[in-house]
Amino acid sequence: MDHLMLGAMWYLVFLFSTTLHEAAHAWVALRLGDPTAYEGGQVSLDPLPHVRREPIGTVVVPIVSFLLGGWMIGWASAPYDPEWAERHPRRAAWMALAGPAANLLLVLVAAAAVWLGLWAGVFVEPHRVRMSMVTAAVAPGLPECLARTVSLLFSLNLVLVVFNLIPLPPLDGSGALPLLMHEETARRYRAVVARVGVMGLFVAWQVFDPLFHPIFLATVNLLYPGAGFH
């Protein structure tokens, strides 16, 4: 497949997945009493409000990372009221969990699309798997485009689930931990992690690859029972 076309597919899947992630954060915050992101236009599947808020993370970094490494990374964000989060740490935790939950839903949708494609005879089990080839097409053209799109939807959203659930600040996994705490403990915890800043990202990036690879293989093997990809 043409490299430019593959890059366009990566970007469309990245933008859609990231937009849904942030829209889920914003929607849950609105439902639980914080309209900050809603007022900023983030309760939307329109990517433009999210791109305007984080143009470096949603445009520049994804394109550069694809050109340099062959796959995309990036970020977006949804604003929230820190005073609301301090008053309601468990509500803020549900808000944090909403983003990865939206990406998990897309992983399941992609898995269902793979099974449907296999049943319809459009997809086949690949000889080997990678992020851009979780499933393979029976023929070039439209079937190949569908197979690549579904593969990227599966892989990229699995990346977003696993990475964001690492329980280190400022990732969503850290933000969701107050669900396991008493409310006063949760308030103290939020006060502590607020001072950590982005240092947790560097640690998370170091542990991500050895964490993600076996999870990726395990989930792909669930798509093809008995395949034994390794």
Amino acid residing at 216: F
Q: Find the catalytic residue in 22, 86, 125, 184.
A: 22
Buried b / exposed e along 66-100 (16+ C-beta atoms within 10 A): beeeebbbbebbbbbbeebbeebbbbbbbbbbbbb
93 Cβ contact list (under 8 Å, min separation 6):
175, 176, 177, 178, 179, 186
Task: Read off the tokens for 8.
Answer: 């366009």
Q: Which helix (H) or strand (E) holds 77?
A: none
The secondary structure of 146-195 as a DSSP string is: HHHHHHHHHHHHHHHHHHHTSSSTTSHHHHHGGGGS-HHHHHHHHHHHTT
Cβ 150 vs Cβ 110: under 8 Å? yes
205 Cβ contact list (under 8 Å, min separation 6):
none
Q: Is 54 a catalytic residue?
A: no
Determine the Cα–Cα distance for residues 148 and 70; give it in Å rounded to an integer.
Answer: 14
Determine the Cα–Cα distance for residues 64 and 103; give it in Å rounded to an integer.
Answer: 23
Active-site residue numbers? 22
